[in-house]
Chain A
Amino acid sequence: MSIEPTLFVRITSIEKITKQVKKFTMSSETGKGLPKFSGGTHVSTYLKTRSGLIVRQYSLVSHPDDSTKYEIAVRLSEDSKGGSFYWHQEMKVGDRLQISSPRNHFYLSFKAKHHVFYAAGIGITPFLSMMQDLSAKGQTFELHYASKSEDSCAFHPYIKKHYPIQSHFYFSDQQQRLQITSLENHPIGTHVYFCGPEGFIEQFRIAAGKLGYPESSVHYERFLPTQNKAMKAFKVILQNGSELIVEEKQTLLEVLLANGTYIPYSCRVGRCGTCEIPVAEGKIEHFDDFLSEEQKNEQNCILACVSRGCSDKLVLKI
């Protein structure tokens, strides 16, 4: 669970930029400007459809300093579960929607001496604002961009015009291939960034590791679909042997406090990390925005304010 701060926007134009990609421009409904953002930023979009709320993340492709509008590019995916389908088929100029404040989990390295972007297909989107930031600061970068064909290559004319020296295109219909060996030639101090289909990211990530790139110099972005949470009751066992049931509508934190088991807490929305409890046994379903992926996978702690047990019982170390 997270607090979803929302901005109210209206679609002001829709442009088809390739056969499968449409660019949507939105402006603020309140008349106040939209927040400026940093290279690599995305927003979550909230679509109220007949089959329910669809939340999807898209990189902002407009200029980071332009607070009059936001632009996103959406590719219609064949197996769309509704997100891109809705954007392509239903969205019209004038439609209103809510989006989150800008968020950046794919930011430019500060210490890098040189930046190299590897994009496949629609994975180009976060790099557009990053390249704008870098050129404004006069920092050096390269772009390696793979696409099926020149026609289907989103933002191809724009990139060629603005970054003629820095950009390299690889069109598979012309037997051009973006090879992982490209990673061998980057000078010390380079940071590399990958964005594209899962397989593409993995291939480059592994190759960089094999060459000896430190993890801190390798950046990538995946957009994960947000999970739906099914709230079920579960049982916890405390160190003193007492058993407590957390009902469907309760949180573990509420139950502990009601039971007189005091644990420190603060935000109650899974963000501050204060109510973390060590767990000895049982499977945890994490709903917080605090723990890292690794920490979640270790399955040895739980944020009592939002996360839940998904096995019969959780044995807590308190």
Chain B
Amino acid sequence: MSIEAVFIKGKRKYIFCSDEYGSRVLSSVFEHVKKEKLAYEWYHFSAEKREWLEEFLSKQKMGTFLYVVLPYSELYTVQMMAKRIGFSSDETQYIGYGEKWISIFCCRCHELNRAEEQQTELTCHQCRLKLEVSDHYSELHHAFLGYPATG
């Protein structure tokens, strides 16, 4: 996930999906698209209208590029939705902001534990094993692996 939106050239259409804060993050890419007179569409996101977004994204054709800037709390759902519809990682940029929580997969009991992004150690809330947070990531579980803490 990038921090800054990057303009990807050569697409027939650009879609910007964000809330108000996100539109500021996207402004430079948006200016670029306008300057080159490329086709674009804005989708102003709100959590209540998530089904509309699904319908909107499903109508798009090949050659479309999607930018999404949302709080982390919303981003993953939208990401999964876009993937289900058929937007691949080569056709999207996702940028999250705000408070970020990550999941830690307990190596002993497989329970997912919620942790802060910078956290390095925690105790599994289910089996009480002391875990060391690693950078080994599973896309399927959307979680990092917690190894047995040493020492």
Contact = CB atoms under 8 A, between A and B. Distances in A.
A–B proximity contact (CB within 8 A): yes
Interface of A: 111-114, 183-190, 192, 208-217
Interface of A is mostly: mixed
Contact of B90 (A189, A190, A216): A216
B64 interface: yes
Contacts, number: 60
Contacts of A183: 62
B65 A189 contact: no
B110 interface: no
B86 A189 contact: yes
Interface residues of B, number: 19
13 contacts: A113-B85, A113-B86, A183-B62, A184-B63, A186-B62, A188-B60, A189-B86, A192-B62, A211-B12, A212-B10, A212-B13, A216-B88, A217-B90
A188 B12 contact: no
Given A112-B86, A188-B60, A192-B62, 16 more contacts: A111-B88, A113-B86, A183-B62, A187-B59, A188-B57, A188-B61, A188-B85, A188-B86, A211-B62, A212-B62, A212-B64, A213-B63, A214-B88, A214-B90, A217-B62, A217-B88
B90 A215 contact: yes
Contact of B60 (A184, A187, A192, A214): A187
Contacts of A211: 12, 62-63
B91 interface: yes
B45 interface: no
Nearest to B9: A212
